Amino acid sequence: MENKHKHIAEKEDELLKCLKCGTCLSACPIYAETKYEPAAPRGRVALIDAARKGEIDLSEVFRKKINLCLNCKSCVEACPGGVRSDDLILRARADLVDQGKFTLLERLIFRHLLKRGRLLPPVARWATFAGRIANKILPEKNPLTLFLPFPDGWKERIYPQIAKTPLRKRIPEVVKVKNPKMRVGYFFGCGTNLVYPEVGEALIKVLTHNDIEVVIPKKQVCCGTSIYNSGDFKTGIKHAKRNLKAFKDAKVDCIVVNCASGGLTLKKEYKELLGVDFDIPTYDISEFLINVIDMKKDFKKPEQEITITYHDPCHLNRGQGIKDEPRKILKELPGVKFIEMGESDRCCGGGGSFHLKYYPISAGIMEYKLENLEKVDPDFLVSGCPGCMMRFEETFLQREMRQKVKHPIQLLADAYPDGKKTVD
Ligand code: SF4
Ligand code: SF4
């Protein structure tokens, strides 16, 4: 007989570890917003255990409770019993998808659109353009909202500007330098490719300035984070295998990533969750510059003084244990005053596609973040994740705040002397 709980059953021991102490509740941003136990970590673990024992079905109600999670990993950090609630939740979603609980939109985006990298830029451009027009001309209450995939808070949203030319088309497949120290593969991810190509260009400037040859395999695809996070492990595995082949063929010494979720996926989740042995050493760019190569510090004189603060992306800090490295880089930069904000590691509420589906909850979580940000009032909010950058940028625009958003690598690239060191 088919096992309806195949993925959950693999982690039965994890479920048995739960002490039901509730320590995770105080760490969970969703619980702080909703005060709703079934959508908090302890409640979700209990629901998953009940499903494993056959006491409840993998119903629509179950799906909604399991989906109301940012995968921020705060519960895992807080848990005295070491329960991997994050992992259990993703496995429960995988069982739901195996049972056919997967929307048509998710099927279209995850199984078709993200697979075809070339289609993504025009579709993203069209969708965000349509969203902006609808926002401008339609009243908040209108019958068309019945057809919107994410109706909550639709009128408040400000969609990201999709770059005219994605990063993939702006850069060659190999960027050479004289006497390279290393040959490094660059995995750029969808957010950098479509919304922040200047972050990718900054990364290439930094690496080549440090005498690193950069290979950007054209055959790399979306890492698949949002795909397997929605429970579609089968498609996630396909993406893992395609990326592994693309970078193996490129014969690189290691891979660098400037996206927190992409880095977590390549470094850990491909193997631990999806069972694909992605055996090429992979580093977040800040980790690479500080721990692997000892970056150059031949900075030019700054044109102006700026104040910055840093938001720790959940998938970089709790996901990969990288907290000090970006700060070490930022604190080296001339003309940059670093001010630490309170609870810098608290989730911003972005959660990949979470903010699209649960906009009011996401906005409430961001509100808490802003209280801490406003106390330090920096010129720039800096973060090592394009997803967090987009969420902050949208919020700053909505509230007409003066702050701008940057990735650490952009500030480092700006601090290095101009002029190309690359060779053909
Ligand atoms: S998941 Fe961890 S913190 Fe939460 S109730 Fe269980 S043992 Fe306690
Ligand atoms: S991962 Fe984050 S949002 Fe999800 S249950 Fe844990 S603390 Fe809550």
Question: pLDDT tens, 212-262?
Answer: 999 999 999 999 999 999 999 999 999 999 999 999 999 999 999 999 999
Q: For residue range 284-315, what is the model confidence (pLDDT) as tens digits?
A: 999 999 999 999 999 999 989 999 999 999 99
The closest-lying atom of ligand 2 relative to the alpha carbon of residue 27 is: 7
Residue carrying the six token digits 């994890």: 14
CB 325 within 8 Å of CB 284? yes
pLDDT of 325 higher than 60: yes
| Å from CA of 119 to ligand 2 middle | 33
Mean pLDDT taken over the chain: 91
Distance CA 187, CA 175 (A): 14
In 11-108, where do the E strands start and end? Answer: none
Same fold, 167-295 and 306-415: yes
Q: Which fold has domain 6-98?
A: Fumarate Reductase Iron-sulfur Protein; Chain B, domain 2 (1.10.1060)
Using CA atoms, how far residue 422 sits from 172, 180, 208, in Å, is 12, 10, 6
Contacts of 126 (CB under 8 A, 6+ apart): none
Domain extent listing, the chain:
6-98, 107-156, 167-295, 306-415
State the pLDDT confidence band at 355, using cuts at 50, 70 and 90: confident
72 lines ligand 2 (CB under 6 A): yes
Q: Whose CA is nearest to atom 8 of ligand 2?
A: 28
The closest-lying atom of ligand 2 relative to the alpha carbon of residue 24 is: 7
| Å from CA of 76 to ligand 1 middle | 8
In this prediction, residues 36-53 reach a mean pLDDT of 91
Eight-class DSSP state of 46? H
Distance CA 284, CA 324 (A): 12
State the pLDDT confidence band at 140, using cuts at 50, 70 and 90: confident
145 lines ligand 1 (CB under 6 A): no
CB 254 within 8 Å of CB 184? yes
| Å from CA of 185 to ligand 2 middle | 32
In this prediction, residues 323-330 reach a mean pLDDT of 98
Which pLDDT belongs to residue 424? 40
SS3 363: helix
In this prediction, residues 260-271 reach a mean pLDDT of 98
Distance CA 407, CA 308 (A): 11
Please report which ligand is nearest the Cα atom of 87: 2
pLDDT of 206 higher than 70: yes
86 lines ligand 2 (CB under 6 A): yes
Which residue did the predictor score with more confidence, 21 or 422? 21
Pocket test for ligand 1, best of 15, 83, 85 (most atoms within 8 A of CB): 83
The closest-lying atom of ligand 2 relative to the alpha carbon of residue 74 is: 7
Q: Whose CA is nearest to atom 2 of ligand 1?
A: 79
State the pLDDT confidence band at 149, using cuts at 50, 70 and 90: low
Q: Identify the CATH assignment for 306-415 out of 3.10.20.30, 3.40.50.1860, 3.40.1710.10, 3.40.50.1980.
A: 3.40.50.1860
The closest-lying atom of ligand 2 relative to the alpha carbon of residue 41 is: 5
Q: Which residues of 356-379 are buried (b: 16+ CB within 10 A; e: fewer)?
A: bbbbebbbbbbebbbeebeeeebb
| Å from CA of 89 to ligand 2 middle | 9
In this prediction, residues 91-105 reach a mean pLDDT of 87
Nearest CA among 209, 213, 206, 205 for reference residue 181: 213
Distance CA 365, CA 354 (A): 12
What percent of the chain stands above pLDDT 90?
A: 75
- For the ranges 4-8, 76-80, 191-195, the lowest mean pLDDT is seen at 4-8
pLDDT of 102 higher than 80: no
In 55-189, where do the E strands start and end? Answer: 174-177, 182-187
Distance CA 283, CA 321 (A): 12
Nearest CA among 266, 375, 252 for reference residue 319: 266
Contacts of 130 (CB under 8 A, 6+ apart): none
CATH class of the domain whose range is 167-295? alpha beta
What is the sign of the dihedral through the CA atoms of 177, 182, 185 and 186?
Answer: negative
pLDDT of 113 higher than 90: no
23 lines ligand 1 (CB under 6 A): yes
Nearest CA among 283, 317, 385, 285 for reference residue 73: 317
pTM to 2 decimals? 0.92
Using CA atoms, how far residue 96 sits from 39, 52, 105, 390, in Å, is 16, 12, 16, 29
pLDDT of 125 higher than 90: no
Which pLDDT belongs to residue 423? 46
CB 17 within 8 Å of CB 68? no
What percent of the chain stands above pLDDT 70?
A: 95
In this prediction, residues 346-364 reach a mean pLDDT of 91
Helix-strand-coil split of the chain, %, nearest 5: 55, 10, 40
The closest-lying atom of ligand 1 relative to the alpha carbon of residue 22 is: 5
CA atoms within 13 A on the CB side of 409: 32
CB 403 within 8 Å of CB 193? no
71 lines ligand 2 (CB under 6 A): yes
- For residue 123 the two structure tokens come to 């579709």
pLDDT of 28 higher than 70: yes
State the pLDDT confidence band at 131, using cuts at 50, 70 and 90: confident
The closest-lying atom of ligand 2 relative to the alpha carbon of residue 314 is: 2
18 lines ligand 1 (CB under 6 A): yes
Phi first, then psi: what are they for 275, rounded to 5°?
A: 75, 20
Which pLDDT belongs to residue 21? 95
Q: Which amino acid is at 340?
A: E
In this prediction, residues 38-63 reach a mean pLDDT of 91
